[in-house]
Amino acid sequence: MGADVTGPRERYRAQVRAEIKQRAWEQLATTGVSALSLKAIAEQLGMSGPALYRYFSSRDELITALIRDAYRSLADALRTAADAGADVAGLADTVRAWALDDPQRYLLIWGTPVPGYHAPDDTTAISTEIMATIVDAYHRRDVPPTGRRIEAHLDGHRGWAVDPAVPAATLRQALAFWTRVHGVLSLELAGHFAGMGFDPALLFDDEIDDLLGR
Amino acid sequence: MGADVTGPRERYRAQVRAEIKQRAWEQLATTGVSALSLKAIAEQLGMSGPALYRYFSSRDELITALIRDAYRSLADALRTAADAGADVAGLADTVRAWALDDPQRYLLIWGTPVPGYHAPDDTTAISTEIMATIVDAYHRRDVPPTGRRIEAHLDGHRGWAVDPAVPAATLRQALAFWTRVHGVLSLELAGHFAGMGFDPALLFDDEIDDLLGR
DNA sequence: TCGCTCTAGTTAGAGCCTATAACTAAGGTG
DNA sequence: CACCTTAGTTATAGGCTCTAACTAGAGCGA
């Protein structure tokens, strides 16, 4: 069922769109999103400028597609790791490996946003899925309540938690996981540790250890 | 001494440069750095495009000046707070207030960098000064060693620490301060908590509490 | 197989930007 | 008071995104 009977037109279209995105990722990795040039991509594909607009109606739409794919890729990586039995520390390593694999891809979704840009609903849905994977991993650990102020607050503001049975203490841990992982990774990827001499991997591991009460 | 005997030419020049930066900050706050337009600034000042190049030789040089000023502003804010007796928690609040006061200013220095852009030496010097202020605040708390793996590592890689008498345990705490504060703040400023419903301020405070062993 | 239609590509160009070159005019300086 | 330095000008090159108008060919139904 639903075996979308794509004619050759549709098939070709999808292929060219994929090729455009491929080139876009290559450019992104070296120049960053701000210097992403549709014209340059078109020329690399042997077509001239405006032809690309048949496939993406604007630069923003291409970037949105890239953002969507990046979210999807991270969500899949985490889901795969979790299904393979990864615990919280394993998920942290998964995120780090995913980030180092393509720093600009990480920064594209978690870095500085363009003011005024509003992410489409489906990307925020994937973002929720990512958080759910992390929450699940903590839920399996059975986090005890601590009576911290934020736990009471989160009990009243848990709209983002998919599973209503998850205790607030677990939600707090998931948030801390997210912010700490991002804190180390984003500074590392942005090069702020360069020249300081220490190994960011050790700092990352140390933060994760702390997060797990080790 | 050294009362630079600026003639009227120099004085006027400095004033115009300041006015350009002022307009640049206004633009930055609304459009972000990627959309910063020299031409638009020039027109706001009633001069036409190329005139601005008398004051900043390129867009990059203007942005570099803004980055320098932003680092300076944050370093001063922290120094002032520390001199007024602020402890680690107080410094954290100072950073947060500074960030919320102008989110784009925070993201300009701590957000996604342009690949290939290399910060001039004096800004990294200010960055070191910022870290020194944080390290000092922890040093006053007398952090006990924990025997964690990263402490041994930091003992061998402490080039960035200004004061050689500071123990590695303190350096580790300062790094954790930096990454955790940045982790929460950057996600908050980037709008990733929007729509989740909870109050980022409580999460921030909770992370700081945790950092202080509370 | 034929012919229609749809669409992927083209070039031309508007309008934005950064940046340089050549020139003008006015102010500071000796 | 004359000179010269410099802040500003316009013109222009060259980059970008994106629209408009057109062309040619590939897919589709009869």
pLDDT tens digit sequence for A112-138: 998 888 889 999 999 999 999 999 999
Pick from B150, B179, B195: CB nearest A183: B179
DSSP alpha helix (H) spans, chain B: 8-31, 38-44, 59-83, 88-101, 103-110, 121-141, 149-156, 168-189, 200-211
pLDDT of residue B1 exceeding 70: no
- Choose among A110, A176, A191: nearest Cβ to B113: A191
When scoring A26, A30, A112 by the number of chain B Cβ atoms within 10 A, the one with the most, hence best to mutate, is A112
H or E element in which residue B191 lies: none
User: Residue A4: what pLDDT?
Assistant: 55
Say yes or no for a CB contact (<8 Å) between A113 and B190.
yes
* Nearest CA among B166, B164, B162, B157 for reference residue B139: B166
Chain B CB contacts of A59 below 8 Å? none
Closest residue (Cα, C1') to C28: B9
Residues of chain B contacting A116 with CB distance shorter than 8 Å: 31
Q: Which range has the top average pLDDT, A157-171, B85-99, B114-128?
A: B85-99
Closest alpha carbon within chain B to A192: B110
Domains annotated for chain A, with CATH where assigned, are 1-57 (1.10.10), 63-211 (1.10.357.10)
- pLDDT at residue B138 above 80? yes
Q: Return the pLDDT at B5.
A: 58
- Angle made by CA atoms B63, B67, B73, in degrees to the nearest 5: 140
Residues in contact with A26: Cβ distance below 8 Å, sequence separation at least 6, in sequence order: none
Closest among B160, B100, B164, B105 to B129, alpha carbons compared: B160
The more confident residue out of A133 and A10 is: A133
How confident is the model over B184-196, as a mean pLDDT?
A: 96
pLDDT of the residue at B3: 42
List Cβ neighbours of B148 (8 Å cut-off, separation of 6 or more): A206, A209, B172
The C-alpha atoms of residue B110 and residue B104 are separated, in whole angstroms, by 10
Q: E strand or H helix at A200, and its extent?
A: helix A200-211
pLDDT single digits (tens) A35-91: 999 999 999 999 999 999 999 999 999 999 999 999 999 999 999 999 999 999 999
pLDDT of res. B4:
55
What is the model's pLDDT at position B20?
98
Quick check: helix, strand or coil at residue A106? helix
Distance in angstroms (rounded) separating the CA atoms of residues B82 and B78: 6
Here the tokens at position B88 are: 């680690």
3-state SS class at B164 = coil
Chain B residue nearest residue A205, CA to CA: B150
Closest residue in A to B131 (Cα) is: A196
* Whole-angstrom distance, CA of residue A180 vs CA of residue A177: 5
Strand D: which nucleotides have any atom within 7 A of a protein Cβ? 6-12, 15-21, 26-28
- Residue in B103, B94, B127 with CA at minimum distance from that of residue B188: B103
Residue partners of A70: CB distance under 8 A and separation at least 6 = A105, A106, A108, A109
Mean pLDDT of chain A: 94
The pLDDT of residue B2: 39
CB-CB under 8 Å, A199 with B153: yes
For residue B21, name the pLDDT band (cuts at 50, 70, 90): very high
A204 CA to centre of own chain: 18
Amino acid at A135: V
Is residue A100 very low, low, confident or very high in pLDDT (cuts 50, 70, 90)?
very high
Look at B112 and A107 and tell me if their CB atoms are within 8 Å. Answer: yes
- Which of A34, A153, A196 is nearest residue B34 as measured by Cβ atoms? A34
For residue B121, the one-letter residue type is: D
For B53-108, how does the pLDDT look when each residue is reduced to its tens digit (9 = 90+)?
999 999 999 999 999 999 999 999 999 999 999 999 999 999 999 999 999 999 99
Dist. CA A100–CA A109, nearest whole Å: 14
What was the pLDDT predicted at A214?
Answer: 79
* Whether the predicted pLDDT of A178 surpasses 80: yes
Q: In chain B, whose CA is at the least distance from the CA of A195?
A: B160
Query: What are the CA-CA distances from residue A174 to residues A167, A202, B159 (Å)?
Result: 11, 21, 34
Q: Could you give the percent of chain A with pLDDT greater than 70? A: 98
Q: What is the CA radius of gyration of chain B?
A: 20
Question: What was the pLDDT predicted at B9?
Answer: 82
Instruction: Flag whether pLDDT at B130 surpasses 80.
Output: yes
CA distance A146 to B41: 52
From B153, B160, B183, residue closest to A182, measured CB to CB? B183
B13 CA – C26 C1', rounded, Å: 16
Per-residue pLDDT band at A5 (split at 50, 70, 90): low
Q: Can you tell me the mean pLDDT for A15-38?
A: 97
Which residues on A lie below 8 Å from B159 (Cβ)? 196-197
Chain C: positions less than 7 Å from a protein CB are: 7-13, 16-22, 27-29
